[in-house]
Structure 1
């Protein structure tokens, strides 16, 4: 049987098909952009641009014409063949891999999610995108769940980790949570990387089931949740659990077991934490940005310093909520409320208030069998007991699902 490259919407794409498509794609012509919701087309475009060494920009498939125009992209170029290149015929994927590692000038441009304003453009080389990718014969058996947006940094990094080891990718991003269990069992998934939101959403469907075949579970994109880690350990008892810090601007930089990140010796002079506790990274760790005016990039992430080489992520600057002059970290409130039995997930956000400027609202997903009135009373009582008054949500709403961004993170605005 041909080795699987990607499973998407019940369609199986093999590495043999990928090889044929790379050899025949556009008969020696190339595009400057990929704008597609279909992950196979995104991945095919990336690999094609890499082996023929031409620059490529990736746009979200659901970007509107207005958004594309605001990014300064000529919409006519999205469907125009603009580059002619020599055609090459690869006999197998090993030849493709050897070609990839010879490429030196290639550039891939991504856009940030735009959750705090207009998406920003960031170019990356093969080296910055694969900084923490591990390629070895011992990874040949891995089967990867794909739980990120394929046009954003986290998704691109999972793609390269799987592709460079010629592993299968089983697409799960944006899919019904009830199908995840079926896919995991059908394809015997061994590795998964996703946001905490994704894990919380799949756990109710994994109740009473364990997956000893799962080898590694990686958290990324959102603050690590120690309570969630314990539940993940129950579902995947043999897995190693890793917490990764990454950004569109820099790619993956730090990894941790638990919520304490370590600054490795090679990065010690390239990372600093300001007096305001904001994490900054040196421009040499970034992709090819054209907008940075000084040596240090301000990540907008606030951290708690443990010692000179260790820190904990606390919050995004853009997520902080001003309640009557008090700065509230919504992640702190969410983590507290998640301790209330019966809550599957919760998002804390702000609502305009004439007295305090903003007040806190909690959208809660609960187990169906629980009474809303009783659970709301328990949440209020628990929050009042454990939080300062200005951190207690004034409005609690029960919802069927939480809104997420294009990258799968909670929407707090």
Structure 2
């Protein structure tokens, strides 16, 4: 049986096909812009760029022409191609891997999600993109399922981990939640990587099942959910739960079991936490960007953390997520984590609404179990909140919704 590279929308792409397409791709392009972010086309273009050592800018396939223009890119330039002067022919996949080891100056450029303003352009080397990738023969039978956009950092992290070990990738981003249990079983998936939001959405469809073949469940992109971890552990009893801290600026830097991240010895002098509890990373650990000021040598992440000891911290919130209710700062993630404990609540989004008295007040959008009565659940949420939260942290408006808005990266949208 041929070694499978990727499965997407029930279509199988083998490593043999990938090798064929790499050998027959005769044009290079400065921009990677694939409508609908088709993962095979995205990964093919990235590997080709890497092998032939030419820089490439990766644009989200969902970007509109207006968004592309606002990035300072001429839309017409997206279709520019140059016929390659040098051609290499790879007989087998091992030849591809050997060629990758020779690459030193390759550059891939990404754009931040733009949640705090205009997206920033960040350029990475092969090293900064793969600094936490583990390559070993013991990983050769891993099967990776992931539900990230392939043009974003989290998706690229999973791709490189799987590709460099010649593993199979199962693409779940945008799949119907009902299909997930069958996909796990059919392809004997061993590793799953996604956001907490994805896991919450899929949980009703996998609960009651036991998938003993899954060895690792990875969280990324959002604050780790301890309550959700417990529920997933019942579904994936043999899985190690791993929490990843990554960003477009720095790639993957910190990992944790549960919610406590470790600062590795080699990174300790390049990481600091300010008096305001903001995590800062030295520019030497970042990709390159002309928009980042080098004056202070420190990049302010905008992430608020709790320092556990000199080498460990817990993520608390994005600075921009904090809500001012009558002069009190409220962390919406804290409120969500408390209210997620109410039976019948599947997922919840806490955000702000302008108020003439308090400046802002809290609104909770709730996805509920369909069998639960709305009036009863609203009453239980309010009672639970009043017992477990300070008065200013209690949502004044509770709304039931069918789905929660998310960004292109699969994170919750609070604005």
Q: 1:378 aligns with which of 372, 377, 380?
A: 380
Instruction: Give 2:301's aligned residue.
Output: 299
Instruction: Give 2:396's aligned residue.
Output: 394
- TM-score w.r.t. length of structure 1: 0.98
Instruction: Give 1:68's aligned residue.
Output: 68
TM superposition outliers: structure 1 runs of 4+ over 6 Å: none
Instruction: Give 1:121's aligned residue.
Output: 121
Instruction: Give 1:342's aligned residue.
Output: 344
The answer as to whether partners of 1:30 and 1:85 remain within 8 angstroms in 2 is no
Q: Deviations for 1:235-259, whole angstroms, at most 9, x for unmatched residues?
A: 1000111111111100111111111
CA distance in structure 1 between the aligned counterparts of 2:339 and 2:23, rounded to whole angstroms: 53
CA shift, 1:84, in A, is 2.9
Q: CA RMSD in A?
A: 0.9
Matched positions, count: 411
Matched, 1:331 2:333: yes
Consecutive unaligned residues of structure 1, counting only runs of 5 or more, are: none
Matched, 1:172 2:172: yes
Q: Deviations for 1:124-152, whole angstroms, at most 9, x for unmatched residues?
A: 00000000001111100000002111000
Matched, 1:193 2:193: yes
Give SS of 2:113's match. coil
Instruction: Give 1:321's aligned residue.
Output: 323
Q: Deviations for 1:74-98, whole angstroms, at most 9, x for unmatched residues?
A: 2111111136331111111110110
Consecutive unaligned residues of structure 2, counting only runs of 5 or more, are: none
- TM-score w.r.t. length of structure 2: 0.98
Instruction: Give 1:406's aligned residue.
Output: 408
Give SS of 1:361's match. strand
The answer as to whether partners of 2:121 and 2:291 remain within 8 angstroms in 1 is no
CA shift, 1:357, in A, is 1.5
Q: Deviations for 1:317-348, whole angstroms, at most 9, x for unmatched residues?
A: 11111111111100000000001011111010
CA distance in structure 2 between the aligned counterparts of 1:361 and 1:117, rounded to whole angstroms: 23
Give SS of 2:24's match. helix
Instruction: Give 1:78's aligned residue.
Output: 78
CA distance in structure 2 between the aligned counterparts of 1:83 and 1:20, rounded to whole angstroms: 18
CA distance in structure 1 between the aligned counterparts of 2:85 and 2:349, rounded to whole angstroms: 49
Q: Deviations for 1:178-198, whole angstroms, at most 9, x for unmatched residues?
A: 111111111010001111111
CA shift, 1:355, in A, is 1.6
Instruction: Give 2:229's aligned residue.
Output: 229
Instruction: Give 1:308's aligned residue.
Output: 310
Give the 3 Å change call, closer, same or farther, for CA 108–83 of structure 1 in structure 2.
farther
Q: 1:361 aligns with which of 363, 369, 372?
A: 363
The answer as to whether partners of 1:352 and 1:358 remain within 8 angstroms in 2 is yes
Give SS of 1:178's match. helix
CA distance in structure 2 between the aligned counterparts of 1:295 and 1:21, rounded to whole angstroms: 42
CA shift, 1:291, in A, is 2.4
CA distance in structure 1 between the aligned counterparts of 2:356 and 2:33, rounded to whole angstroms: 43
The answer as to whether partners of 1:52 and 1:85 remain within 8 angstroms in 2 is no
